[in-house]
Amino acid sequence: MRQSPEYDAIVVGSGAGGGIAAFILATSGLRVLLLEAGRHYDPLRETPMFQLPKDAPLRGAGGSDKPFGFYDATVDGGWQVPGEPYSVADGSEFMWWRSRMLGGRTNHWGRISLRMGEYDFKPRSRDGLGFDWPMSYDDLAPYYDKTELLIGVYGSNEGLENTPNSSPGVLQPPPKPRGYELLTRKACRRMGIPVIPAHLAIMTQTQDPERLPGDLFPDNELARRVTADSMRGRAACYWATPCGRGCSIRANFQSTTVLLPPALATGNLDIRTDAMVREVTVDAQGRATGVHYIDRTTLLDEFAGARVVVLAASACESARILLNSTSGLFPDGLANSSGLVGRYLMDTVGAGVYSHIPALQALPPHNEDGSSAMHMYMPWWLYGEQLAGRLDFPRGYHIEFGGGRRMPGFGAFGGLEPLTGGTYGQQFKDDCRRYYGSFLFFDGRGEMIPNEDCYCEIDPDKVDRYGIPVLKFHWKWADHELNQALHMQRTFAEIVDEMGGQLLSTVASSGADAISKGGQIIHEVGGAMMGDNPRTSVLNQYCQSWDVPNLFVTDGAPFVSNADKNPTLSIMAIAWRASDYIVEQLGQRSIG
Amino acid sequence: MSEERGRRGKALGTDPGPGPAPESAPAPREPDGTITRRGALKVIAAGAALGATVPGCSPGESGGGAAGADAAHTELSGFNPLPPSNPLAAGTPTDPDMLAPIVPWEMVLTDEEMHYVAALADVIIPADDRSPAASAVGVPDYVNEFVSAPAHTEQLTQLRGGLAWLNRTARDRFGAADFPALTTAQQHEICDEIRFEPDAADHLKPQARFFDAFRDMCSTGFWTTEEGMRDLGYMGNVPLPSFDGPPPEVLEQLGLAGEDLV
Ligand SMILES: Cc1cc2nc3c(=O)[nH]c(=O)nc-3n(C[C@H](O)[C@H](O)[C@H](O)COP(=O)(O)OP(=O)(O)OC[C@H]3O[C@@H](n4cnc5c(N)ncnc54)[C@H](O)[C@@H]3O)c2cc1C
Ligand code: SF4
């Protein structure tokens, strides 16, 4: 006789995908256990909001311990996690960013929240490359609306090609543009490049706790109640303090400020931190029964059982858990009858330039902090050119740009010599004053096409400090990406030129010199792709394993393509849709 | 810095970018006991804090940072100020207490070396009618902190070599006791030979690189102080009820008067 497990569902990982799963399952009345490898983390008590660089070691500089700066909301993470190595195959370059804290990387992510468009779900049908998704934009659109409403996203509806509008009333008003954003827009207009309000998971106004919960959960009283309470406890952005440190007033999206508090308030959720999952267990019928995890504080192996297991440990880590879950029934790892677990890993194509724009020099002092993030960006605009065959790469990129009068930190006015000829003394002081605020960067974020050479597998020779076999990464950009990276840099050089500025970085002569390393843009997705055929995919469109029906993966692993749109909003929308499906299936007792 | 923080090299003028790391020893601290990380917690207890609409720390405590910001923070957000230190942080280099930061390594420069550092720092950033000299706002201490970091042994050697060259040149050329004893004009005469590596004589290239690195240290050290930020006209890090975009005089100067602000 099978004993009834303590929990309906175990969710592994508390970031974007796990946060949504825990929230939807718990508010739907299921008993949920959330297992998180990192430590407990409370943004309301821990976020260094107004702390100055001057008060931090080395003026807040990044280093190997805290690569994105001392105050970055990353705990025990970065390109390396202490005691948790990974391998990279000879000839490959891959960088894997992780953190070990409740809420995962949602505590410090960039909050850029762009929807994938209708083309992005059917890329193969359009240009014959990569794969089509087993769902369409219309399938996901309602979940994009719900996700944006719940978390709070500013932006505007511009009706541009493959850049979807949100439903009326969903987006919050975008902030006013900064001076340098308007100046860039003016130059780009002359070049035919659209510059429009960016979409960021930052609240420019408080949420209406009377209306929104009802719109989100018309049939669920519990969900309405905890969501309304949560919304009442969130302030609007007050236009100061960098979002990358986290937000103690809950104005931007973090799993720890937006999803986990209302999920806990249901009373249906238990969270166990310091719980490093290593394996999903199965019964004789091949159904998932629970997970084994290492308690990081005792180093003892523990077991937790549930009717359904949801992996959301981040794309590569979920692939790792599946590949490490070997058994007599599943000798090649769980959910891996297709042999595709770990395959078709993708990141975003990145390339950029720095520039000096004399028109921005010596402006009257004014406060440009704003939302600390982009107020404007450029969506991909050359669909027509591409269709006409005038570009030597197949997919698009958007442009992220910034600079201006930011708070001086480590590196302030370093490397000015090419402009100043090495001044010092009074002249140097005057130079810094004049140049302050006149530097802009432009970064392209482009679509990579999945390929056979980009994957992860278990390294048979190495284990981490918990004795768990680690991942080995393989990576190779194709010409699609290399050509795109070159196009980015050349385009940015033209924009800078049009603005009357000068480049301070070089435009590479080859794509290989222009492009970021695999994983470096930290949009790694894929590794357990969804599809409509069990032989050619790992999951169905509800993130459900074809092989093990009570096993789901709701992070970036199910991604089939990686549009230029930063992935996290899509991860959450897809996770929400999958979670609704889990609730429905458990209700019908067709799984678990 | 990129919008998605920090995925790039040194950003001119602003924000901390990826830089060298202090491979420092952890600075252990006692957990405060209210929420301990020990034990596989069911964070139900912690849920009280997580789920609360307002953080449960006593009002009036300062989280450090910009003066006056805390009051505006509370007024605009309805949230209390942050506590003065973080009981959840492990206090290790990868999980430091960001509310009460400490520099966990020993300072290595001697009093004499600090004397030379201060003199050169003030040559690079002298006082004027807008802000004080580098040495008046702690820049020499920052230089000491930087070159004392365990990962910066090469920078320490470079600094010492550069200071020794300055003193030697001061004696050889002007018969002075050391570099600080020179007149400003004499100091400038020496610095002009190493101010810009491409212009420096071949045998002085290493000194020019030292000067460049030293100027970078002074620049970071100086412009990150309150005095430096005020001098630049940095007006942020203050909570505001609204963000109104650039004021008219800025739009005017940018040639954007009348530009659509939406
Ligand atoms: C600096 C930075 C900026 C970014 N900016 C953007 C942006 O602007 N827009 C955007 O869309 N995306 C951005 N991203 C990417 C974004 O952070 C990720 O896409 C998103 O967090 C992925 O969500 P996830 O749930 O898959 O994983 P995560 O958020 O990483 O959460 C996974 C969680 O699982 C835990 N875990 C891992 N392994 C185990 C295990 N074995 N057992 C138990 N728990 C485990 C981890 O500790 C972690 O807490 C950025 C990332 C970084 C680092
Ligand atoms: S900019 Fe706004 S949303 Fe971001 S951390 Fe500061 S207050 Fe919060």
- Chain segment A114-134, per-residue pLDDT in tens: 999 999 999 999 999 999 999
Answer whether B89's CB lies under 8 Å from A63's CB.
no
pLDDT at B69: 84
Q: pLDDT tens per residue, chain B (262 residues)?
A: 333 433 333 334 333 333 333 222 232 223 332 222 222 222 222 222 332 323 333 333 333 345 578 899 999 999 999 999 999 999 999 999 999 999 999 999 999 999 999 999 999 999 999 999 999 999 999 999 999 999 999 999 999 999 999 999 999 999 999 999 999 999 999 999 999 999 999 999 999 999 999 999 999 999 999 999 999 999 999 999 999 999 999 999 999 998 877 7
Q: Chain B residue closest to A366 (CA)?
A: B235
Contact B232 A297 (CB under 8 A): no
Residue A257 is classified by DSSP as: I
Residue matched to tokens 């523990």:
A302
Give the pLDDT mean for A45-69.
97
Give residue-wise pLDDT tens across range A311-339: 999 999 999 999 999 999 999 999 999 99
Instruction: Tell whether B196 lies on the interface with A, counting CB pairs under 8 A.
Output: yes
Q: Please, what is the average pLDDT of chain A?
A: 97
Interchain contact A274–B (C-beta under 8 A): yes
pLDDT of the residue at A592: 79
Q: How far apart are CA A345 and CA A557, in angstroms?
A: 8
pLDDT tier for residue A172 given thresholds of 50, 70 and 90: very high
Q: What is the distance in A from the centroid of ligand 1 to the CA of A568? A: 8
> Tell me: the pLDDT tens digits for A500-553?
999 999 999 999 999 999 999 999 999 999 999 999 999 999 999 999 999 999
DSSP state of B8: S
Confidence class for position A5, pLDDT limits 50, 70, 90: confident
pLDDT value for A194: 98
> What's residue A462's pLDDT?
98
Domain definitions of chain B by residue range? 2-77, 111-232
Domain boundaries for CATH 3.50.50.60 within chain A:
1-42+71-116+129-154+198-348+454-475+524-592
Interval A175-205: pLDDT, tens: 999 999 999 999 999 999 999 999 999 999 9
Sign of CA dihedral A475, A481, A483, A487: negative
- Distance in angstroms (rounded) separating the CA atoms of residues B218 and B214: 6
- The backbone torsions φ and ψ at residue A442, rounded to the nearest 5 degrees and listed phi first, read -125, 125
pLDDT score, position B38: 26
Q: The domain A1-42+71-116+129-154+198-348+454-475+524-592 belongs to what CATH superfamily?
A: FAD/NAD(P)-binding domain (3.50.50.60)
Collapsed DSSP state (helix, strand, coil) of residue A212: helix
User: A15 C-alpha vs ligand 2 centroid, how far in Å?
Assistant: 19
Which residues lie below 8 Å from residue B153, measured CB to CB, with a gap of 6+?
none
**What whole-number percentage of chain A has pLDDT above 70?**
99
Q: State how far the alpha carbon of A57 is from the alpha carbons of A54, A66, A279, in Å.
A: 8, 11, 39
Q: What is the pLDDT of residues A407-441, one digit of tens each?
A: 999 999 998 999 999 999 999 999 999 999 999 99
If one counts every other C-beta atom within 10 angstroms of the C-beta of residue B91, the result is 18
Question: Among residues 231-250 of chain B, which lie with CB inside 8 Å of chain A?
Answer: 231-247, 249-250
Distances (CA, A) of A351 to A239, A397, A489: 29, 10, 6
Q: CB–CB of A53/A406 below 8 Å?
A: no
Buried b (16+ CB within 10 A) or exposed e, A376-410: bbbbbbbeeebeeeeeebbbbbbbbbbbbbbbbbb
In a mutational test of the pocket of ligand 1, which residue from A105, A310, A443, A516 has the highest number of ligand atoms less than 8 Å from its CB?
A105
CB contact under 8 A, B6 and A244: yes
Residue with CA closest to ligand 1 atom 47: A100
Give residue B18's pLDDT. 32
A-chain residue closest to B236, CA distance: A367
Chain B interface, best mutation among A45, A363, A435, by max B CB count within 10 A: A45
Residue A147 contacts residue A573 (beta carbons within 8 Å):
yes
Nearest CA distance, B30 vs chain A (angstrom): 16
How far apart CA A308 and CA A76 sit, in angstroms, is 29
Residue A370 with chain B: CB contacts under 8 Å: 243
Residue type, A137: Y
* Predicted local confidence at residue A3, as pLDDT: 61
- Output the residue whose Cα is nearest ligand 2's atom 7: A237
Cβ-based neighbours of A542, under 8 Å, separated by 6 or more: A552, A577, A578, A581, A582
